[in-house]
Chain A
Amino acid sequence: MDESGLKSALEAITSTAVLDAVLLIVVAWVIIVLVQTLVPRIAGRFSGKTRLYILASAPLLRLLVILATILLIVPILIEPTFENLIAIFGALALALGFAFKDYATSLIAGIVTLYEMPYRPGDWIEVDGYYGEVRSIGTRAVTIVTPDDTAVVIPHGKLWDSLIANGNAGSSNLMCVAEFYLAPDHDAGEVRARLREMAFTSPWIKTYQPVLVVLSEKPWGTCYRVKAYPVDPRDQFQFISDLTVRGKAVLRQMNVRQVTAPVVAD
Chain B
Amino acid sequence: MTAAEATPSPLRELVSKDQWALPSATVNRTLQDALKAFVERVRQPNWLQDEPAGGQDELQPLSRRQLERWAPEPQWRSNLSGFVDALDHWCTRWSAIQPVGFVVAPPFTGLAESLEQVAADRDWRLIAPPDLDRIHRGQALQDWWSQFEGDTPWVLPELGHCWLRTPAGLALVRHLLGAIAAGELGRGLVGCNSWSWTFWTHLLPELRFSTLTLQALDHQRLGLWLQGLAGTGQFRLTTNGSWVVPPKDEPARNGARTSAFLRDLAAWSRGIPEVAWAIWRDSLRARPEAEVEEPPDAEPTQSTCWVIPWSQVSVPTMPPGESRPLAFVLHALLLHQGLDETYLQQTTGLAPDDVHIALHSLHRAELIGPHPRGWFVTPRGYPAVRRYLHAEGFAVDGF
Contact = CB atoms under 8 A, between A and B. Distances in A.
B170 A200 contact: yes
B214 to A, nearest CB: 23
Contacts of B198: 207
A203 B320 CA distance: 21
Nearest to B331: A203
A46 B324 CA distance: 13
A246 B42 contact: no
Looking at B165, B199, B393, B395, the one whose CB has the most chain A CB atoms below 10 A away is B393
Given A42-B42, A45-B42, A203-B347, A208 B202 contact: yes
Interface string A226-266: 00000110010010001001100110010000000000000
Listed from nearest, the 8 A-B pairs whose CB atoms lie closest are A231-B393, A207-B202, A203-B328, A48-B393, A207-B395, A208-B395, A45-B41, A250-B167
Contacts of A106: none
Nearest to B169: A201
B203 A200 contact: yes
Contacts of B393: 47-49, 172, 206, 231-232
A206 B331 CA distance: 12
Contacts of B347: 201, 203
A14 interface: no
B44 interface: yes
Given A200-B202, A200-B203, A235-B324, A47 B392 contact: yes
Contacts of B165: 200-201, 203
Interface string B341-375: 00000011100000000000000000000000000
Interface of A: 42, 45-50, 172, 194, 197-198, 200-204, 206-208, 231-232, 235, 238, 242, 245-246, 249-250, 253
Contacts of A47: 322, 391-393
Given A45-B321, A200-B202, A203-B328, 12 more contacts: A45-B42, A197-B174, A197-B203, A198-B167, A201-B167, A203-B324, A203-B347, A206-B394, A208-B395, A231-B394, A249-B167, A253-B168
Given A203-B348, A207-B203, A45 B167 contact: no
B394 A201 contact: no
Given A42-B42, A203-B349, A48 B392 contact: yes
A16 B388 CA distance: 54
6 contacts: A198-B167, A200-B203, A203-B165, A207-B199, A208-B202, A253-B167
Nearest to B166: A201
Contacts of A238: 324
B206 to A, nearest CB: 13
A38 to B, nearest CB: 10
Contacts of B103: none
Contacts of B391: 46-48, 50
B170 A197 contact: yes
Contacts of B276: none
